[in-house]
Amino acid sequence: MRIPHVPRPRSLAGQLFGMQAVLIAVVVAGYALFTYVSDRSQAEDAAGRQAMAVARSVADSPSVIAAIGTSNPTAHLESYSLKVQRDTQVDFITIMNPQGIRWTHPDRKQIGKKFLGHIKPALKGDSFTETYTGTLGASVRAVTPVKSGDTVIGLVSAGIRVEAITQRVQDQVTALIGVAAGALALGAVGTYVVNARLRRHTHGMNATELSHMHDYHQAALHAVREGLLMLDGQYRVALMNDGGRELLGVGPEVDVVGRSVASLGLPAPLTGALLSSEPRVDEVHLTASRVLVVNTSPVSGGERRGTVVTLRDVTELQSLMGELDSERGFTQALRSQAHEAANRLHTVVSLIELGRAEEAVDFATAELELAQTLTDQVVSAVNEPVLAALLLGKTAQSNERGVELVVSEDSGLDDGLLPDSLPARDLVTILGNLIDNAVDAAQGSLRARVTVTARTEAEAGAGGSALVLRVADTGAGVDPAHAEAVFQRGFSTKPAGPGGRGLGLALVRQAVNRHEGTLTVAEAEGGGAVFEVRLPLRGVGAGAGVDSGSGAGAGRGRASSQGSVSEGGTS
């Protein structure tokens, strides 16, 4: 069984065209009908006035009054009435006696017969008009008395047939219909042009399709997690979805539509990217708490109409990439240490083969004590496992690059001291990037060294404590004029690599701001730069191992204890 074809709803432009065409047709038809009725009424009134004027002119004529007084009025009045009838363009003029017997008539056969119509008002001296059907058909006629003094001596009736009046109105209506048809055609053409333009803008979709598209549009805007920002030609916000508000830190109570991008309080590099007339592809920008990938695409159709901006949050991805970089560094350090261990093992084996067993034992013991001393030094100072592992890995990496990384004697950080509100991932981001930056700066300098301090200190007047991370290097230092710029994304004093530079310190600052801490840079003693991070430890008391001297002393005590255990284990 074949399913009958259901016609597709007309497009919105087509529906509007049909509605406008019908509206114009109804208006024109109504106006034509009104004009026809009005013109007919006006034509009948005009015919009545014309007939009355002719009848009174005949009744007032002295020759008519004189002819009525003769013995044969018809002989004197017939030719006169016919002449006046032709000159005044009326259909008949009838002159009769007071009893209504005709003296004249266009049809000679009707002369001498009684007038068909009302004459009583005229016999009383009044003139009147009426529409009446007589011998010539329906007509609009006027009847007026012929007086000699105050005596009515005759009557005059002049009339115009209704058929003639109708013909006049029809001629006018025909002209009106022609004008109306022209107006309808002109309106239809104008409507078609307007709706063709509308059809192009609506892509031929009907109202239902447009309504569904709007619903899908709204649902998509609120559903996607990615940020979507639409700017007009003057770089004002035309649309911002929920994801865009969240990623840019704009609250739902803030009305951003119509505002310039420059007034949103975004970081200068991000604002510059949004205001750029050139498309941007996968650019990384930082806000106060997020790392965003920004793509911009101009909307143009012969002229610039605006910009579509998409925003993706890669904060967690960037953090994971930082951790991955650290893991890669650890792997490289382990590979290097494995290579060195293999060399030392070959040395020990060779000494044994040469019969120098005592030298082999002394060599192996010295190497083991050196490695254990390094581990004990880091772990005794920083007992927090994540930071300890990070420092050990960075120490091996730094040694490979010819930079000595040491943990200062006043470091002291016990395991379990850091609250859950300070995740290890952020600590790796902060300390790892600071160490990498310091190693870059110190590499190639005389006695290249990076000194790391990690400890807790009491907050003056705050009744709490703070985690202090301090990284000093022996590099060239930081120009005071650039003390603020070094923390902005893209700033670097070294040539850009394949992945770009200037992101590490910006990520450090972002993580510090996220935990409401402070980040400063100053000149280190003996040259170089020292970066200091202070992070408040909420929920940790000021006396929880925070004394300025106890932490370091406890660390050194643990170092001695662990050193003796290691020594006993290797003897």
3-state secondary structure 367-405: HHHHHHHHHHHHHHHECCHHHHHHHHHHHHHHHHCCCEE
Q: What per-residue confidence (pLDDT) applies to 53?
A: 92
Cα–Cα distance for residue pair 273/293, rounded to 1 Å: 11
Instruction: Provide the pairing of β-strand 304-313 with 291-300.
Output: antiparallel
Burial class (CB in 10 A: 0-12, 13-18, 19+), 355: exposed
Summarised one tens digit per residue, pLDDT across range 409-438 is 777 766 666 777 777 778 888 888 888 888
Nearest CA among 503, 531, 431, 483 for reference residue 286: 503
Looking at residue 257, its pLDDT comes to: 83
Residues in the chain: 571
Alpha carbon distance 397, 347 (integer Å): 24
Nearest to 46 by CA among 127, 121, 129: 129
Ramachandran assignment for 45, one of left (phi > 0), alpha (psi -120 to 50 degrees), beta (any other): alpha
The Cα–Cα gap between 84 and 79 comes to 9
Q: What is the number of other CB atoms lying within 10 angstroms of the CB of residue 344?
A: 16
- Given this model, what pLDDT does residue 145 score? 92
* pLDDT confidence band for 565 (50 / 70 / 90): very low
> Given this model, what pLDDT does residue 131 score?
83
Q: What is the mean pLDDT of residues 360-376?
A: 69
Q: How far apart are CA 274 and CA 260, in angstroms?
A: 11
| Strand positions, DSSP E, 264-381 | 280-286, 291-300, 304-313
Sign of the Cα pseudo-torsion (358, 361, 365, 367, in order): positive
Q: Of 453, 454, 441, nearest to 403 (Cα)?
A: 441
DSSP state for residue 413 in the 8-state scheme: B
- Mean pLDDT across the chain, nearest whole number? 75
> Does the reported pTM lie above 0.85?
no
The predicted pLDDT at position 559 comes to 35
Q: What is the CA radius of gyration of the chain?
A: 55
Which of the pair, 75 or 381, is modelled with greater confidence? 75
Q: Residue 319 and residue 389: Cα distance in Å, rounded? A: 17
Helices (H), 470-524: 504-514
Output the CA–CA distances (angstroms, integers) from residue 81 to 127, 137, 221, 469, 480, in the order listed. Answer: 19, 19, 91, 130, 123
Least confident of 44-53, 136-145, 420-429: 420-429
What is the arrangement of strands in the sheet containing 128-134, beginning at the earlier edge strand? 92-96, 151-161, 137-148, 128-134
Quick one: what percent of the chain has pLDDT higher than 70? 76
Q: At what angle do helices 424-442 and 504-514 cross, to 10 degrees?
A: 150
* Spatial separation of the C-alpha atoms in residues 241 and 252, rounded to whole Å: 10
Pick the closest to residue 449 from 470, 471, 416, 433 (CA basis). Answer: 471
Query: Is the distance from CB of 571 to CB of 388 less than 8 angstroms?
Result: no
Q: Is the pLDDT reported for residue 335 higher than 60?
A: yes
> Quick one: 522 exposed, middle or buried, by C-beta within 10 A (0-12, 13-18, 19+)?
middle
> Tens digits of per-residue pLDDT, 159-190?
888 777 777 777 777 777 787 778 778 877 87
State residue 89's pLDDT score.
83
Q: Distance between CA 376 and CA 569 in Å, rounded? A: 14
